[in-house]
Amino acid sequence: MRKVQAGGVMLDVDHKELDGILIQIDQAIDNHDQWYAQLERTLICKLPPDQRDLEKDAYKQCRFGQWYYQYSSPALRSHPTFASIEHEHQLLHERVSGLLQVSMAEAKPIDVHVFDEFANTLQRMRLLLFSLKHEIEGDLNNLDPLTGAYNRFGMMAFLHEQQELVARGVNSCSIAMLDLDFFKQVNDQYGHKMGDHVLTSIASTLLKGLRPYDKLFRYGGEEFVAVFPNTAVESALLVAERVRKYVEDTIIEIDKLPVRITVSVGIAAIDANTSVEISVEQADIAMYTAKQNGRNQVKLWENSLTQK
């Protein structure tokens, strides 16, 4: 299973499974809404409660909880927003149990502060659920379906966000331009179908080599841009070198023959006083220099590298 990026993290799913995860989330939200509608009816009409809502593990017994703990996609469980839902969901059921016990034992109305705590918890959980849905939807729309990397449409906006953080002194940021070596020869010799297979395999290798919070964009053809948030160029060089070695060691089978592909990489910093477009160009020039110097290497942008 190749990796794709979702919600800022790497998930071991393909584009089709990501679409299936979105369907799961919609169904989970619907199940949660049905549970709440029944709870509301029980409280307002003073009906006998569902005994499962009074159990200590009620959060595992509701239909949403069954999905969350048993049937949700294993890949989704590494998503930070998905993980955040657990606490609010458990707290919600604790508050529901308290509401139901008061409702059964007393004729007077439920204390407004107790109800407000429940309502606030419910709202926080719903916000997390819809945040998860919107993050997956956004990533699904912004992913390159062939490689699992982000497409280039959101790249500049993300780089501008990172530049703003750099300008405020919050963190540093570096970028890498990566280009597969001799990829045109692969297409010419084996055809575009095999070329796509190579791109998919190499993109998966790139994603495995990057850190969870790095972002990979397909820039065009066989070119990719990696963004390293909160990373100075010295550290970015180390990550890029590791990625380069991963690619070099990857064996791809074409027509039952083992084929090795290499990648040339250029590194540049995101600077508060330099436009991100220029930073991308600097990384591109550094990458081109790596190719001129023999390919299969990482090169850092320097002022002496003035043109391609």
Q: Are strands 215-220 and 150-151 parallel, antiparallel or unpaired?
A: parallel
Among the listed residues 55, 164, 222, 241, the single catalytic one is 222
**pLDDT averaged over every residue in the chain:** 91
Q: Which two tokens stand for residue 284?
A: 């591109």
What are the residue boundaries of the structural domains of the chain, listed by start? 4-142, 150-300
Write the CA distances from 147 to 192, 196, 202, integer angstroms. 14, 9, 8
Q: Is the pLDDT of residue 51 over 60?
A: yes
The confidence score (pLDDT) of residue 9 equals 57
Q: Which two tokens stand for residue 52?
A: 């499962």
- The rounded distance, in Å, linking the Cα atoms of 140 and 23 is 12
Q: Which two tokens stand for residue 273?
A: 């006083």
- The rounded distance, in Å, linking the Cα atoms of 132 and 84 is 10
Residue pLDDT, tens place only, 270-299: 999 999 999 999 999 999 999 999 999 999
Q: Is the pLDDT of residue 55 over 90?
A: yes
Query: Could you tell me which of 227, 246, 247, 239 has the C-alpha nearest to residue 183?
Result: 247
Q: Which two tokens stand for residue 60?
A: 């595992």
Write the CA distances from 229 to 73, 90, 135, 176, 265, integer angstroms. 28, 33, 19, 11, 17
Q: Is 275 helix (H, G, I), strand (E, B) or coil?
A: coil
Confidence bin at 137 (pLDDT 50/70/90): confident
- Apex CA 2: angle with CA 162 and CA 13, to 5°? 80
Superfamily of domain 4-142 in CATH is Aspartate receptor, ligand-binding domain (1.20.120.30)
222 belongs to the catalytic site? yes
pTM exceeds 0.85, yes or no: no
The confidence score (pLDDT) of residue 1 equals 45
DSSP 22-76: HHHHHHHHHHHHHHHHHHHHHHHHTPPPPGGGGSTTHHHHSHHHHIIIIIS-GGG
- Looking up tokens 């429940």, which residue turns up? 118
Neighbours of 260 (CB within 10 A): 11
Q: Is 299 helix (H, G, I), strand (E, B) or coil?
A: strand
Mean pLDDT is lowest, of 5-14, 135-144, 267-276, for 5-14
- Residues 86-103 have a mean pLDDT of 95
Q: Is the pLDDT of residue 233 over 60?
A: yes
Superfamily of domain 150-300 in CATH is Reverse transcriptase/Diguanylate cyclase domain (3.30.70.270)
